[in-house]
Amino acid sequence: MVTQVIEDEISRRDLTNDERLQLNRRVHELVSGFGALQPLIQDPSIEEVWVNSPSRIFVARGGRSELTNLVMTSAEVRDSVERMLAGSNRRLDLSNPFVDATLADGSRLHVVIPDVTSKHWCVNIRKHVLRAATLPDLVDQLVLDSSAADYLTQSVAAGKNIVVSGGTQAGKTTLLNCLISAVPSYERVITVEEVFELAPQVADLVAMQTRQANLEGEGEITLRRLIKEALRMRPSRIIVGEVRGAEALDLLIALNSGLPGMASIHANSAREAVKKLAILPLLAGENVRHDFIIPTVAAAIDLVVHCQLDAKTGNRRVFEIVSLSPSTSGEDIDVVDIFTRTNDQLINADVSMRGESDG
């Protein structure tokens, strides 16, 4: 119906074929898509789109940012965002100037509006461009070596608790997805996230996300609440999309009770991730003591897998895999290298050390 109306209207105008196609595409973007941003979102070579102002719109390709020649009006930016938020049950207004949401294609939307920003609406659309669903897929894409993939597959099957660390756009979500897909088919997996991003290939899966408070300030559902509710749902595994705050305490307690699980965390290295895991639970309250958290982290987390984005090449790689265990004193965490990246190869640390010793 919409297509027919558009074509009928265009046919009445004196336009060349190229002008007709361009106008047709533009009208479709405005009517049924996300406006002028639609071509950028659909471009498979683009990893992320962000709008600093209507005249400063950037994209990332191959891990590198570039300024586009696209110019929008402030009204067009707002209209595009409202279209993206339609049906998401997420609210954006002066009382709630931040919003996180998931688009239909799985891309993650983040928006900030004035007066938190100085003048313009700032929009980030992060796409999942790394086409991998399993650990062998990551091996094919040179993110991971086959020996490390086999080790991680065996670790998941054995019920090891695994944390994926890395910076922004390092591939944490993709790697976590692939790890979850290695979970045995007879297990029940519960995932909890701020907004839906994970899409693992698991037969028995329940996915939950947080919820904002309503206009009356009621009805908010936090990650901490979701973790506690997940424990009542007969989980075989619990997955937290990303640990950022006090929910780290709830996750550690769940894992320390014998329930296998996984999570991701922002960190510059595997060892920094361990330090962060020992700090975040302290945000849960003054009654949480550091001398309780350290041995809990050591006992609850088995492996940390660190991935990284090479800013020069745009390549994403797993850079190290470490194991955790309590120190002999019980007051610290022993971190041992399992795999480390050397000369762009992920090498078993024992083999590497033996090679150095032989040399």
- Residue 6 pLDDT > 60: no
Q: Is 302 helix (H, G, I), strand (E, B) or coil?
A: coil
Cα separation, 157 vs 141, whole angstroms: 23
Question: Which of 7-21, 227-241, 299-313, 320-334 has the highest average model confidence (pLDDT)?
Answer: 227-241
Percent of the chain with pLDDT over 90: 57
88 token code pair: 């998401």
Helix or strand (DSSP H, E) at 323: strand 316-326
| Average pLDDT value for residue range 163-188 | 93
Residue with more model confidence, 322 or 22:
322
- Lowest mean pLDDT: which of 82-96, 177-191, 271-285? 82-96
Cα separation, 190 vs 187, whole angstroms: 10
- Residue 358 pLDDT > 60: no
How many CA atoms lie less than 13 Å away from 269 in the CB half-sphere? Answer: 7
- At residue 15 the predicted structure's pLDDT band, cuts being 50, 70 and 90, is low
| Average pLDDT value for residue range 81-109 | 86
Of 306, 313, 267, residue with least CA distance to 63: 313
Cα separation, 161 vs 238, whole angstroms: 10
| Strand-strand pairing, 237-240 and 204-209 | unpaired
- At residue 263 the predicted structure's pLDDT band, cuts being 50, 70 and 90, is very high
pLDDT value for 354: 47
| Average pLDDT value for residue range 198-217 | 88
Cα separation, 198 vs 55, whole angstroms: 33
- Residue 233 pLDDT > 70: yes
- At residue 52 the predicted structure's pLDDT band, cuts being 50, 70 and 90, is very high
- Indicate the average pLDDT of the chain: 87
Helix or strand (DSSP H, E) at 153: helix 146-157
- The Cα-based distances of 50 to 168, 233, 258, 269 in angstroms read 14, 38, 42, 26
- Residue 30 pLDDT > 60: no
- At residue 13 the predicted structure's pLDDT band, cuts being 50, 70 and 90, is low
Helices (H), 187-242: 223-230
- Whether 282 and 244 have beta carbons less than 8 Å apart is answered as no
Question: Which of 8-12, 16-20, 173-177 has the highest average model confidence (pLDDT)?
Answer: 173-177
- Residue 17 pLDDT > 70: no
- Residue 282 pLDDT > 80: yes
Burial class (CB within 10 angstroms; exposed 0-12, middle 13-18, buried 19+) of 94: exposed
- At residue 351 the predicted structure's pLDDT band, cuts being 50, 70 and 90, is low
- At residue 18 the predicted structure's pLDDT band, cuts being 50, 70 and 90, is low
| Average pLDDT value for residue range 58-76 | 90
